Amino acid sequence: MSDQIAMSIDPNEDPYGSLGIIRNTDGSITRPQTTRPFSITIPDKDSFVFMKDLVINLAKDMWARIVIPREVLNSETKLPLVVYFHGGGFVMAATVDTPILQKFYATLAVEIPAIIVSVDYRYAPENRLPAAYDDCVESLYWIKNTPNELLKKHADLSKCFLLGTSAGGNIAYHVGLRVAKVSECLKPLEIKGLILHHAFFGGNERTKSELRLARNKILPLNVCDIMWELGLPIGSDRDHLYSNPMVEIRSNENLFDQLKIQGWKILVIDCYGDPLIDRQIEVSKMLKEKGVQVVDSFSEGGFHGCEFFDDMKLKDMALVVKEFVRA
């Protein structure tokens, strides 16, 4: 199905163009100017969800989109909170109002059901890692201290999960490791688990799935390499711990101590049509060996981010996440 998706630019032929950037002769990049209007978005009345946008940090152009099932708006019901970090390889100028994300939010919010808070973060190379991690940690403190009545009334802050897709999955993993060490400072926000959806991990040594799908039209290897080159700290290679979690997992025996003490669990979701599948399997296996509670869901076929384009796969994913959150 990935070949059937209309791609305006073939990433194998023009990888920079597919990322929405221009590589200049001096090595710098130019990004088309875009304006990001602040708005409060309320879908049509027949929609199953209510959405509202709020500023997190105006200086960093960070904001959040809150997604709430409409059926709970006039009740005292509190639902689990899912904080969502979108993808984009740390480089693409994706935001919480990117069109393909809207059905994703709504489906998860209704099917789990849960309150979804999707948050923005700065992108590279203007702001290289760990800037995105810093921003997403900041968003958790913003949620903790929020004066927003919708969240205070309908979100159960004691049942929070961090969910991320692609680069967002990488963020969920690293932010989770960070905040597990300072969990007391986040209360009443209490994280119960991480959901890594097609997480964007890498490494210097190619995996079999990366080589098998090296020229796929969704996430080819040349695009992965460019995103890591632009996203990682200057001078780093793909075995940096931000890219390759196995490096730190193997070298730090106590890495997951706080996750285990607090009873966190991790859900790893991917499909065999994703070039990153071998990395997800490796990480999942190692987490289990380290004593972390892990649930994995690896489906046949598909492609990187397929749930944004295939309603059935999105529905299946929502059911997997529902079971994980509700367990």
Asked if residue 154 lies in contact with residue 79, where contact means CB atoms within 8 angstroms, the answer is yes
Alpha carbons 2 and 301: distance in angstroms, whole number: 10
Judging by DSSP bridges, how do beta strands 191-197 and 115-119 pair with one another? unpaired
- Alpha-carbon span 185 to 190, nearest angstrom: 10
Return d(Cα 258, Cα 250) in angstroms, integer.
Answer: 17
β-pair type (265-271, 293-299): parallel
Q: Which two tokens stand for residue 64?
A: 């959040």
Q: Parallel, antiparallel, or unpaired: how do β-strands 49-57 and 62-69 relate?
A: antiparallel
d(CA 14, CA 22): 10
CA distances (Å), origin 230, targets 12, 27, 226, 235, 313: 17, 10, 6, 10, 31
**Burial letters 33-57, b for 16+ CB under 10 A, else e:** eeeeeeeeeeeeeeeebbbbbbebe
Cis peptide leading into residue 188 (ω within 30°)? yes
Helix (H) or strand (E) holding 155: strand 155-165
Distance CA 56, CA 59 (A): 9
Active site residues: 166, 274, 304
| Cβ count within 10 A of residue 106 | 19
User: How many other β-carbons are positioned within 10 Å of the β-carbon of residue 111?
Assistant: 17
